[in-house]
Amino acid sequence: MSMQDTATRKLLERAAPGRVDFENLVVVPLFAVVAALILGALTMLATNVEPATIGRSYLALLQGSVGSLGAISETLTAAAPLILAGLGLALGFRAGLFNIGAEGQILMGGMAAVICGFSFSHLPFAVLMPLCVISGGAAGAFYASIAGWLRAATGAHEVITTIMLNMISYRLVDYMLRLPWVQRPGRADPISQSVPPNAELPALLQWLDPNLRLHAGIFLTLLAVVVVHWLLFRTKLGFEFRASGASPEAARYAGMRASLIIVLAMATAGMLAGLAGANQVLGVLGRASPGFSAGIGFDAIAVALLGRSHPVGVLFAGLLFGALEAGGRQMQVDAGVSIDLIGIIQALIIVFIAAPLLVRALFPWGFRRPDSGDGRS
Amino acid sequence: MTLAVDRPDPAAPVVDKAERRRAQITGGVLVALAAFIVLVFGDASGDATFRLSRPRDVWVIGDLVVPALPVIYVAAALTAFLGARLFLRGGGRWSTLSLGAGLALAVIAFLLWATAGNAFSLTGMLQATVVRAMPIALGALAAVFCERVAVVNIAIEGMLLAGAFTGALMGSLIGGWGGLLSAVVVGGIFGFILAALVVTYRMDQIIAGVVINLFVLGLTSYVSSQVFAEMRHLNNAPVFRAVKLPVLGDIPVIGPMLFHQNIFVYGAFVMVVVSTYYLFHTRGGLRARAVGEHPRAADTLGIDVYWTRYVHVTVGGMIAGFGGAWFTLGSVGRFDENMTGGRGFIALAAMIFGRWHPVGALLAALVFGFSDSLQQKLALLQTPIPSEFLAMAPYVATIIVVAGLIGRARAPAADGKPYIKD
């Protein structure tokens, strides 16, 4: 973008405050979702799904995500770990760290929470549950800070080290699940002992209907959104994170301790991913099994990107992905369309949101014209 | 994203502090490795027998019989020496070599310990090494093409998966060669899409890559559960068999390894040679590298930066598509959901490990293939080490190597940055 355009844009923003924000925050995502759904329908058409079934599947998608109390409960349950891990990744992006390792950090956090749960099952709920949540966060933080330390001490790039740590974590979980003191007695397959009831995140709505899975992890998630927002935008440490992400050179000249910031940022990101793992095992699964992270760590990358690495954005992006996840399950049951379609729709939404130029090219009438095709780079 | 963090100024003669510290950490790791070798592998007894020939070979050579324990101690002593030297001298020219040698010695000691009092087909393992390295090598080569023109390609995973899927589908419909060609074309299409997103629409390169991975995973999983589940004949492609080259294929050890393989292995070797020549000995390659190092200067000299990026990223996609077809047309002929299983990311690591060079990428891929096949073969020998730890070893080794090497490897200067023409 040349200087001229920037100046014009600044003037426009001053002249019509809110208009640009409105387009970026509301119109673009809205068009993105619509365009993704249309392309999803075309995909279904291409694979021989009848038009009537397509209509039924989108209706099921809507019903399964927000159509009933049960649907909302499922949406929130699916969104919580995505938001938690997404917050961690967003914080990393802000600090200039591309952490792909949420998957491994979720696994480590979940394992720690499970082990803590069944090892100290004699403790009362008020002590045990927080202890398990904290140990999950601590394990995630420790696992992520390995990558942070390697980056700070040797310059090994975190993309590579976190991918490798993911691979290692899968094997480590497989190994741990077969240890005699972890494996469930009487079982030959790798599966852990169950989390005792006094370590579980309590279900919130079971007094209405025992099938409602929404649990107290949602409060943990909301708290995390607030804390991360405060940390990033209201504290010195958060400023240092953002400064070293925006310009490592400038941050160093300003006297910030680059190595320490990298390790701390990775540890915080890992803690949030570890909390997501603890949230899953203590609130939903009740035990650990191989690969229980179920790709949440990778979906969380998309959530963080979609939320533009802003805590509030991550909250909404996570809710959207959670809704698609919950609705997708309903869609599979009602219309017999594979839930994998949701993956396609999610990817398309991110494309359209991350490349505003593309949306503007596809839907020219939705936008103010003088922008003449020059979006934000 | 630049993948080398701090780049030592080539003009500076003194070894800087960061590099000294890195060398000291590496040296420490090597000394620890030596201690590990003595402590864990020190209980080996008997001779280790490595079979070099197979029963039906034309020229048969004898087994390699090694007294396990003495050689293990020698390996440990050498590793300790290399580590101590690195620790005290702090870097210098030999640090990379020392690290490589130390890790190789550790692998040798491990092999001897696992095989002691037993026999083991070395040739079979090396053949499997080459086969298993190929998708990683091809993915890494694709990444080299993209990163040399300063486009970071996280989407290798998705391109491999797309190639595997297309190979299975089109292979079932129009035969093996048609399937292979379609896989290459579809890989190229995804390369073109990546180029369009990052060059024309200036999307963040990492985001674009993540999106392509998500999209391909979603699309292929969707079709495989929606369509393949019912119409199995669409997912039943012919497989390219291994072809034995005359004479060369009969050489002991090397023959089965290099000259009795399928089209993907030969193709990968040819492509590595051709792309090395192209990148470093032709005008086009020089221009491509110029675009990766300093796009504005290249533009000033009349090189079309956008066009160069489009072409190379598309070619990279085609190579990845070819590598992806290995998973279906090169092994089982059937597509399974997410069957690439993260190999695209390992390919990315192999590219960095191989210093953005085709030959380096191939060698790094062979290291991964070796540990992959080693782990599989050793399951037969029943070592007391849990198999999960064997499976972890290559990833731990990658971390050690990347931590020890990366300061010396250098990414193309403009890597990951969009170029905006005035």
Is the pLDDT at B59 greater than 80? The verdict is no
Q: Residue A21's pLDDT is what? A: 64
Interface test with B, best of A160, A299, A337, A376 (most B CBs within 10 A): A160
Shortest alpha-carbon distance between residue B91 and chain A (Å): 13
Q: What is the pLDDT of residues A72-127, one digit of tens each?
A: 999 999 999 999 999 999 999 899 888 888 999 999 999 999 999 999 988 999 99
Q: What is the pLDDT of residues B84-132, one digit of tens each?
A: 888 887 666 667 777 778 888 888 888 888 877 777 778 888 888 898 8
Whether A20 is covered by a domain: the verdict is: no
A342 touches chain B (CB under 8 A): yes
Residue in B181, B159, B132, B135 with CA at minimum distance from that of residue B373: B132
Is the pLDDT at B134 greater than 50? The verdict is yes
Which residues of chain B are within 8 Å of residue A344 when distances are taken between CB atoms? Answer: 215, 218-219, 222
CA A141/CA A263 separation, integer angstroms: 10
pLDDT level of residue A366 (50, 70, 90 thresholds): low
The stretch B345-361 carries a mean pLDDT of 86
Which residues of chain A are within 8 Å of residue B201 when distances are taken between CB atoms? Answer: 355, 357-358
When CB atoms are compared, the residue of B21, B345, B396 closest to A168 is B396
Average pLDDT, whole number, for chain B? 83
The burial class, CB within 10 Å (0-12 / 13-18 / 19+), for B148 is buried
Q: What is the pLDDT of residues A219-229, one digit of tens each?
A: 999 999 999 99
pLDDT level of residue B408 (50, 70, 90 thresholds): low
pLDDT level of residue A187 (50, 70, 90 thresholds): confident
Whether A339 is covered by a domain: the verdict is: no
The residues, any chain, with a CB within 8 Å of residue B363's CB and separated by 6 or more, are B354
Evaluate whether A53 touches A335 at the Cβ level (below 8 Å). yes
Q: Residue B382's pLDDT is what? A: 67
The stretch A168-178 carries a mean pLDDT of 92
Is the pLDDT at A15 greater than 80? The verdict is no
Evaluate whether A257 touches A108 at the Cβ level (below 8 Å). no
Contact B226 A358 (CB under 8 A): no
Low-confidence winner among A268-282, A316-330, B9-23, B369-383 (lowest mean pLDDT): B9-23
Q: Residue A355's pLDDT is what? A: 72
Phi first, then psi, for residue B66 (nearest 5°) are -125, 130
Q: Residue B10's pLDDT is what? A: 46
A344 touches chain B (CB under 8 A): yes
Q: Residue B182's pLDDT is what? A: 95
Tell which A residues from 147 to 206 touch B, by Cβ distance under 8 Å.
150-151, 153-157, 159-161, 163-168, 171-172, 174-175, 178
Q: What is the pLDDT of residues B68-79, one digit of tens each?
A: 888 888 889 999
Interface test with B, best of A100, A149, A164 (most B CBs within 10 A): A164
Contact B345 A163 (CB under 8 A): yes
Contact A47 B226 (CB under 8 A): yes
Whether A239 is covered by a domain: the verdict is: yes
Shortest alpha-carbon distance between residue B53 and chain A (Å): 34
Which residues of chain A are within 8 Å of residue B215 when distances are taken between CB atoms? Answer: 343-344, 347-348, 351
Rg (C-alpha) for chain B, rounded Å, is 23
Residue in B362, B323, B359, B368 with CA at minimum distance from that of residue B137: B362
Is the pLDDT at A303 greater than 50? The verdict is yes
Angle at A310 between CA B414 and CA A352, to 5 degrees: 65
pLDDT level of residue B233 (50, 70, 90 thresholds): confident
Q: Residue A212's pLDDT is what? A: 87
Q: Residue B417's pLDDT is what? A: 77
Low-confidence winner among A47-51, A88-92, A373-377 (lowest mean pLDDT): A373-377
Percent of residues, chain B, with pLDDT higher than 70: 91
Q: What is the pLDDT of residues A58-74, one digit of tens each?
A: 999 899 888 889 899 99
Highest mean pLDDT among A238-247, B142-151, B347-356 belongs to B142-151
Whether A236 is covered by a domain: the verdict is: yes
Percent of residues, chain B, with pLDDT higher than 90: 28
* Cα B288–chain centre separation: 22
Closest B-chain CA to A377? B202
Rg (C-alpha) for chain A, rounded Å, is 22
The stretch B291-301 carries a mean pLDDT of 89
Q: Residue B371's pLDDT is what? A: 79
Contact B406 A157 (CB under 8 A): yes
Q: Residue B64's pLDDT is what? A: 79
Phi first, then psi, for residue A192 (nearest 5°) are -85, 170
Which residues of chain B are within 8 Å of residue A41 when distances are taken between CB atoms? Answer: none
The stretch B249-262 carries a mean pLDDT of 79
Contact A2 B349 (CB under 8 A): no
Closest A-chain CA to B152? A159
DSSP letters spanning A64-86: HHHSSHHHHHHHHHHHHHHHHHH
Which residues of chain B are within 8 Å of residue A375 when distances are taken between CB atoms? Answer: 202
Closest B-chain CA to A172? B388
Whether A347 is covered by a domain: the verdict is: no
Shortest alpha-carbon distance between residue A215 and chain B (Å): 29
The burial class, CB within 10 Å (0-12 / 13-18 / 19+), for A376 is exposed
Closest A-chain CA to B405? A156
ipTM of the complex: 0.81
Is the pLDDT at B406 greater than 70? The verdict is no
Question: Across-strand partners of B48?
Answer: B66, B118
Shortest alpha-carbon distance between residue A373 and chain B (Å): 10
Whether A331 is covered by a domain: the verdict is: no
Evaluate whether A260 touches A165 at the Cβ level (below 8 Å). no
Shortest alpha-carbon distance between residue B93 and chain A (Å): 17
When CB atoms are compared, the residue of A171, A341, A354 closest to B211 is A354
How many other C-beta atoms are found inside a 10 Å radius of the C-beta of residue B304?
A: 14
Percent of residues, chain A, with pLDDT higher than 90: 38
pLDDT level of residue A22 (50, 70, 90 thresholds): low
A47 touches chain B (CB under 8 A): yes
Is the pLDDT at B249 greater than 60? The verdict is yes
A41 touches chain B (CB under 8 A): no
Which residues of chain A are within 8 Å of residue B21 when distances are taken between CB atoms? Answer: 153-154
CA A282/CA A111 separation, integer angstroms: 10
Q: What is the pLDDT of residues B193-231, one digit of tens each?
A: 999 988 988 887 878 888 898 889 989 998 888 888 888
Q: Residue A142's pLDDT is what? A: 96
Evaluate whether A344 touches A324 at the Cβ level (below 8 Å). no
B397 touches chain A (CB under 8 A): no
Q: Give the up-direction half-sphere exposure of residue A294: CA atoms within 13 A in the CB hemisphere.
A: 14
How many other C-beta atoms are found inside a 10 Å radius of the C-beta of residue A225?
A: 18
Is the pLDDT at A349 greater than 50? The verdict is yes
Is the pLDDT at B165 greater than 90? The verdict is yes
Which residues of chain A are within 8 Å of residue B208 when distances are taken between CB atoms? Answer: 351, 354-355
**A264-283: b or e for each residue (b if 16 or more CB lie within 10 Å)?**
bbbbbbbbbbbbbbbbbbbb
Residue span of the structural domain in which A297 resides: 99-308
Low-confidence winner among A205-209, A370-374, B235-239 (lowest mean pLDDT): A370-374
B227 touches chain A (CB under 8 A): yes
Residue in A118, A231, A227, A129 with CA at minimum distance from that of residue A177: A118
pLDDT level of residue B26 (50, 70, 90 thresholds): confident
Shortest alpha-carbon distance between residue B406 and chain A (Å): 6
Contact A172 B208 (CB under 8 A): no
B203 touches chain A (CB under 8 A): yes
Contact A340 B227 (CB under 8 A): no
CA B264/CA B262 separation, integer angstroms: 6
Q: Residue B8's pLDDT is what? A: 45
Whether A67 is covered by a domain: the verdict is: no
Is the pLDDT at A151 greater than 80? The verdict is yes
Is the pLDDT at A230 greater than 50? The verdict is yes
Contact A305 B404 (CB under 8 A): no
pLDDT level of residue B268 (50, 70, 90 thresholds): very high
Helix (H) or strand (E) holding B119: strand B118-121
Is the pLDDT at A368 greater than 80? The verdict is no
A-B contacts at Cβ under 8 angstroms = 162
B396 touches chain A (CB under 8 A): yes
When CB atoms are compared, the residue of A49, A347, A375 closest to B211 is A347
Which residues of chain B are within 8 Å of residue A28 when distances are taken between CB atoms? Answer: none
Whether A184 is covered by a domain: the verdict is: yes
Shortest alpha-carbon distance between residue A79 and chain B (Å): 18
Quote the number of domains for chain A.
1
Shortest alpha-carbon distance between residue A304 and chain B (Å): 10
Q: Residue A243's pLDDT is what? A: 87
Pairwise pLDDT comparison (B380 vs B299), residue with the higher score: B299
CA A14/CA A265 separation, integer angstroms: 35
Residue in B153, B164, B115, B97 with CA at minimum distance from that of residue B327: B164
Tokens of B192: 């073109």
Evaluate whether B338 touches B175 at the Cβ level (below 8 Å). no
Phi first, then psi, for residue B67 (nearest 5°) are -70, 115
- Could you report how far apart the first and last alpha carbons of chain B are, in Å? 23
